[in-house]
Amino acid sequence: MSITETPEVTPERARYYDKIQGQNLSPLWMVFNRLISREPRSDCRPHLWSYAELKPLLLEAGGLITAKEAERRVLILENPGMPDSGRITTSLYAGLQLVLPGEVAPAHRHTQTALRFVMDGNGAYTAVNGERTLMAPGDFVITPPWAWHDHGNDTAEPMIWMDGLDIPILQFFDASFAEPYGADEQPVTRQTGDSLARYGANMLPVDHAPDGLASPIFNYPYVLSREALEKMKSQQEWDPCHGLKLRYVNPVDGAAAMPTISAFIQLLPAGFASAPYRSTDATVFSPVEGSGYSMIGGERFDWVERDVFVAPSWATVTHHPESESVLFSFSDRTCQQKLGIFREQRLTDPS
């Protein structure tokens, strides 16, 4: 068997392959290249969804079905290379969710981990394990696996956020469990801001014993991440590939905020042209501020705030912000790192 060449099919071999096919057997040497590629070969394609096009479609869905009937009123962002798969990358799901004024998305829980990245509206809440957090644009909110969660909007404006979930990973492992809470909303047992006070002030309760692998902070407010980037900016220490890039962490161990999904926020100055970079974690980006374009695997994608675009595994990426820009992104990086298979390459490095 060979990593580069598939052996020729002689009539004698063809008869043999036909014979064993009926016995649920297959010759490895005919598929070796496909199973073990020299480099990642993904069906995932680079793509951009324009928020200006998505928002009216999402609001139209708002007139067709309630959040309650839908359970979650979401338009899935499906990768064009993987139609009907519910995937934005090979391992991750993403969608845009709408909660209208007065609506509730009923409480449930599942083994899938979720993140929310707030795009539009201000002041709707998501409740996780008895605490409600009010969401503002740019906030990064997590729902740990098997945590009860519901959403509600007591404001006068529609609320829209991006959901990111590890659904394809759970599908791969056949490990999906889900159940309804049995009431629209879970009881509120903690005051808003409790988890940020306990876990988000660079301190932990002295005898804190982690309950699972996810961060005990469940809202990372944009005001805090933006302020951090703003302070760092004056130092002028730009990474050639990433500008100023921070990762969201679990304060208990410094790992990613979620066991399967890594999330990041980065600031790029106006006119910056990032150095080419590729990595094995296919990444979903959403600009929070600014406008510009990114080159992904040789294709150009022009973006403005609230658009969503995706870079496949091992595709070369460069960012070209026209104005000062902030990009949120998420990927399966922490999962790959735990498995020891994550690779990245700065293409300016000698390698």
Tell me which residues touch ligand 1HN (CB under 6 A). 72, 74, 95, 97, 105, 110, 114, 149, 151, 163, 165, 167
End-to-end Cα, the chain, rounded Å? 28
Q: Which residues of 111-129 are buried (b: 16+ CB within 10 A; e: fewer)?
A: ebbbbbbbbbbeebbbbbb
Q: In what order do the strands lie in the sheet with 114-120?
A: 74-76, 93-99, 159-165, 114-120, 140-143, 219-220
The DSSP letter of residue 218 is -
Query: Residue 284 pairs with which residues in a beta bridge?
Result: 310, 330
In whole angstroms, the minimum distance from the beta carbon of 97 to ligand 1HN comes to: 6
Q: Measured from the CB of residue 114, what is the shortest distance to ligand 1HN in angstroms?
A: 6
Residue nearer to ligand 1HN on the CB measure, 95 or 137:
95
Q: How far is the CB of 263 from ligand 1HN (least distance, A)?
A: 16
Q: Which is nearer to ligand 1HN, 165 or 296 (CB)?
A: 165
* Residue tagged 């000698």 (tokens): 350
CB of 68 vs ligand 1HN, minimal distance in Å: 13
How long is the chain?
351
- With residue 246 as reference, give the H or E element that holds it: strand 244-247
Nearest to ligand 1HN of 7, 187 (CB atom): 187
Q: Report the alpha-carbon distance of residue 84 to residue 88 in Å, rounded.
A: 11
Can you tell me the distance from the alpha carbon of 50 to that of 71, in angstroms, rounded to the nearest whole number?
25
Which distant-in-sequence residues (6+ apart) come within 8 Å of 227 by Cβ? none
142 or 296: CB nearest ligand 1HN: 142
Residues 324 and 290 sit within 8 Å (Cβ to Cβ): yes
Q: How far is the CB of 126 from ligand 1HN (least distance, A)?
A: 8
Residue 141 contacts residue 115 (beta carbons within 8 Å): yes
| C-alpha span between 73 and 64 (Å, rounded) | 10
Nearer to ligand 1HN, 133 or 280 (CB): 133
| Complex with ligand 1HN: residue 105 or 119, whichever CB lies closer | 105
In angstroms, what is the minimal distance from the CB of 93 to ligand 1HN?
Answer: 6
Q: Give the residue with the Cβ less far from ligand 1HN, 7 or 180.
A: 180
Smallest gap from Cβ 88 to ligand 1HN, in A, equals 12
